[in-house]
Structure formats: C-alpha cells, structure tokens
Amino acid sequence: MISVKIKGVAFDISGNPMILLMDESEQRVLPIWIGVLEANAIAVALEQFTLPRPLTHDLMINLGQSLGATITKVIITDLKDNTFYAEIHLLRDCQEILLDARPSDAIALALRARAPVYINKQVADHMLQITDVIDNAHQEEFEKFAQEIAREYKKTLH
C-alpha cells in the first residue's frame, strides 16, 4: 500500500470536481472524479469548517464514536471500468470491521477522523507523474491557483 495525501478538490476544464491524491513525495497524483455534493463534503473537512448542524459524514463519525468504533484507515482498493472502489477500516472492541464505500465518502470520513488514506499497488499504477499534469515551471503557479480556488470555494460555503 502507498500512503497518499488529499491535496484538495480541483475542477477539470469542464468544471467537474475531482479529488487529487498525491504520494508523499508529491511527484505523482491520482485524480478521482466525484460529484458536487461529495466535493463539498471533502472541502468542508479540508478547510476544517465548523457548521451549525452536522453534515451526513459528521453524523456518521458521531454515530461510530457513539458505538465505540474508530476509523483506522481508508484504502482505495481497485479501479474497474473507470470506477474506483474503497474500504473503510473500523476498529471496535479490538475487532476490525471493513466497510465497502465510494472513495469520496471514505475520504470525507477519513479527513474528519484524521485517519490515513492509502492506495493499493494496482491503483497506484494509474497515478500520473505530476510533470505529466503540470510542468515544473508552472508548479508554483498551480499551487497559487489551487489555493485561490480553495479560498473562493470557502466563500461559497458561508
């Protein structure tokens, strides 16, 4: 398994949201396209917003805690027919529980639980070199652009 960081939510040229997962060295990236509502749930967690009422993922974290379960990790396990698959690993009473999940939901929960996210080797084979996505000369510009998108997106949540 390869540990990945959730770099953020970005938008493709058509305006479709995606999660950007980067390896620890930030040399490779795995984009996973998601829905708008899922992008919102992940952006809220990334920005550590406190909302007056819990969102669905917050409710799930609260429910798990009430039942004595802790999310220990999330693994993006597979890619079949352009669909990613994920597992949420829970621990309750020294027993591991595995839940099948969409990657977007699993990542939204992992962010809230501060649990690590991993990808399997076969999924890692689909990662792109960051230089294939953006050349070194534009890396700093890309970082500033990503931060600006995050700031603007944050404004829409208030």
Predicted confidence (pLDDT) per residue in 43-69, tens digit: 888 888 778 888 889 889 999 999 999
Residue ranges in the chain modelled with pLDDT below 70 = 131-158
List of residues 6+ apart from 98 with CB closer than 8 A: 87, 88, 89, 90
- Of 138, 154, 155, 142, nearest in space to 7 by CA: 142
Q: What whole-number distance in Å separates Cα of residue 86 and Cα of residue 92?
A: 19
pLDDT at site 47: 84
Domain of residue 102, residue span:
2-157
Instruction: Please name the residue that has the structure tokens 């984009």.
Output: 31
pLDDT at site 133: 60
pLDDT at site 129: 80
pLDDT at site 100: 97
pLDDT at site 40: 87
Within a 13 Å sphere around the CA of 121, how many CA atoms are in the beta-carbon half? 0
pLDDT at site 22: 92
pLDDT at site 53: 86
Task: Work out how many domains the chain is built from and give that number.
Answer: 1
For the domain that residue 29 is a member of, what is the CATH number? 3.10.690.10
Within a 13 Å sphere around the CA of 117, how many CA atoms are in the beta-carbon half? 28
pTM of the model: 0.80
